Amino acid sequence: MQGRALFLSVMVVTLSLSGCFGEETAVPPVVEEEPTDTRVFVTDRYGQPVDMPLVDMTFQFSDVGETGKEPSIGITSSGCIFFIAMEKVMRSCDGGATWEETQDPVMCSPTTSDPYGWVDPITDRVFGVQMIGLETSWICWSDDDGETWMGNPHDSGTTPLNDHIKLASGPWTSSGYGLVGQITSSFYETAVYYCYNKLAGIFCFTSYDGGATFETGGQIIGLATTNGGLHGAISTAPDGTVYVTPRVATPTVIVSKDNGFSWFERTMGEDVNTPNPRKNSEVSTDTASNAYHVWTGADEGVYMSRSTDSGETWEQESIRISPAGVISSVFPQTDAGDPGRIAITYLGSENSEMLNQSDIDGNPWDGNAHYAPNNATYHLYITYSLNALDDEPIFHTYRVTDDPVQRGSICLNSGDCRDIGGSNRNLLDFNDLHIDREGRVYVAFADGCTGECTTKEGASAEDSRDGRGAVYYLAAGPSLLEEFGTMAPIMQ
């Protein structure tokens, strides 16, 4: 895609990394490209501009080279990046300069309709989860940066259907660990969680053996039609707290403090709520187990609520993360490092001039991406806060794409999508953001506007039907882990 490298002042050094590729190979130098329309913002808790210096950051783009709808991303301690979407696990061990497919076709099912990936930040185990039809799933894993794989099928129930499979891992708690000791004499270093939804609600299970089997768990919330059976990513904290986010009108988190043996619900954000239709929210946790719940509000801005007691209580006055000028947003994802140091990514539109214009059904547009006019444009934004726990946090936002990620509407309801030169559900349901062991931020997203869509005069929704896998990562700027200071470019 043209113009994707937002690299304002630093050129990446052209040395190769040894790692999962083995021998070093020379790669051509990365050419510095000047963005055509850099957009940056420094805003307060209300999304309003403040007179404070922008945190200087540069971001590097990488084209994964494969379809990337609903991508997951994770980084092992060796520096290998894993991008998992559709039926492929893609790997780059040279800072995104090259990518290769790496999963085992026998141990990792080659057919899927809803994949998910996870890299255990403690053990480096890489997971690839595949949903086989709407009946069951297949989980595979690698402990050597994707060189070899193990795996087996997991029954997630054949009726009435299963969907939205998610997997994550986290520390054992004292209560959970004790119960595990009563059940089995051998267990994996971390608890592995697997959730999916059926029409009856959200079901979550815990594995004691690193994802090979899931012996404990069950339904954690009720009917999807009433209180959010469709759910977002699983998030875990250093103290072992687990969070799952249902898709509901009032922002809600479902919390477990005993490795999934029991769950409770907490709500927040009634001052901003969520739109309809909507996609899932997400929780990130920092090294002190403070939690940050991020979602799209009913006014289409990105909002946050914080918990400093491991999910027991949440502040009820929502904090706006996205600038007020971003009048539409979807797919908010987040991760955190040390206390108060968080990053958030989302797709957003600044087309305020189109508000109240009629969409294709003749309805005035209120900013909801599901109903956006055909010539609306959506870009990828990355927001940092280095003081997100303060009473008056400051947010530093970069619009990292200079041509759109999507033109026109983005389907937020799989049963109500539009066919404008092809379905507008080309991006599916989510993107992803994670940090590596040094606190460097990586964003995985599906790019719907590629090729002629980026250059064609008068390009509109029908030209934006791709779902190309892509990554942005922090090339230079502050780590989310203070001990690593200012990050230098990854040497390729």
Segment 316-332, tens digit of pLDDT: 999 999 999 999 999 99
Confidence category of residue 215, pLDDT binned at 50, 70, 90: confident
pLDDT in tens, 360-395: 677 799 999 999 999 999 999 999 999 999 999 999
The answer as to whether 29 is a domain residue is no
* Whole-Å CA distances, 360 to 111, 168, 363, 366, 418: 35, 40, 7, 13, 10
**What is the arithmetic mean of pLDDT over 71-89?**
94
Instruction: Note the pLDDT tens digit of each residue in 108-150.
Output: 876 666 789 999 999 999 999 987 766 678 899 999 999 999 9
Structure-model confidence comparison of residues 248 and 285, the more confident one: 285
- pLDDT above 90 as % of the chain: 71
- % of residues, the chain, pLDDT over 70: 85
What single letter denotes the amino acid at residue 472?
A: Y
CATH number at residue 361: 2.120.10.30
At 245, list the tokens: 């986010």
Q: Stretch 47-69: mean pLDDT, rounded?
A: 97
The per-residue pLDDT of the chain, averaged, comes to 87
Distance, in Å, from the CA atom of 45 to the CA atom of 272, rounded to the nearest integer, reads 13
* Assigned token pair, 476: 């230079």
CA 241 to chain centre: 19
The whole-number average pLDDT for the span 290-298 is: 98
Tens-digit pLDDT profile for residues 241-262: 999 999 999 999 999 999 999 9
Q: Residue with structure tokens 């494969």?
A: 66
How do residues 18-29 score in pLDDT, each as one tens digit? 333 333 334 444
**For residue 188, is pLDDT > 70?**
yes
Q: What is the pLDDT of residue 76?
A: 98
Q: What is the pLDDT averaged over residues 306-313? A: 98
Confidence of residue 173 (pLDDT cuts 50, 70, 90): very high
* Mean pLDDT, residues 326-347 taken together: 98
What lies within 8 Å, CB to CB, of 467 at 6+ separation is 67, 68, 69, 426, 427, 428, 446, 447, 448
In a domain, 13, yes or no: no
At residue 69, does pLDDT exceed 90?
A: yes
Q: How many domains does the chain have?
A: 1
Domain membership flag for residue 303: yes
The predicted pLDDT at position 153 comes to 80
Cα(111)–Cα(132) distance, integer angstroms: 6
In order of 79, 113, 401, the CA distances from 98 in angstroms are 13, 26, 21
pLDDT at residue 363 in the model? 79
Contact by Cβ (8 Å): 43, 55: no
The answer to whether residue 28 sits within a structural domain is no
pLDDT at residue 155 in the model: 66
Domain membership of residue 166 (yes or no) is: yes
Tell me which of 18-27, 44-53, 67-76, 269-278 is least confident.
18-27
**DSSP characters over 181-207:** HHH-S---SSEEEEEEEETTEEEEEEE
Q: What is the pLDDT of residue 21?
A: 32
Q: What is the pLDDT of residue 9?
A: 37
Query: What's the average model confidence in pLDDT over 72-89?
Result: 94
10 occurs within a structural domain: no
Average pLDDT (341-349) is 98
| Mean pLDDT within 449-476 | 96
Most confident of the ranges 10-14, 173-177, 362-366, 430-434: 430-434
Angstrom distance (rounded) from CA 176 to CA 106: 33
Q: How far is CA 166 from CA 43, 117, 429, 451, in A?
A: 33, 8, 13, 32
Residue 135's pLDDT is 66
pLDDT confidence band for 197 (50 / 70 / 90):
confident
The reply to whether 27 falls in a domain is: no
* Domain assignment present for 365: yes
Q: What residue numbers bound the domain in which 315 lies?
A: 39-415+425-487
Residue-level pLDDT at 110: 63
What integer pLDDT is reported at residue 26 of this predicted model?
41
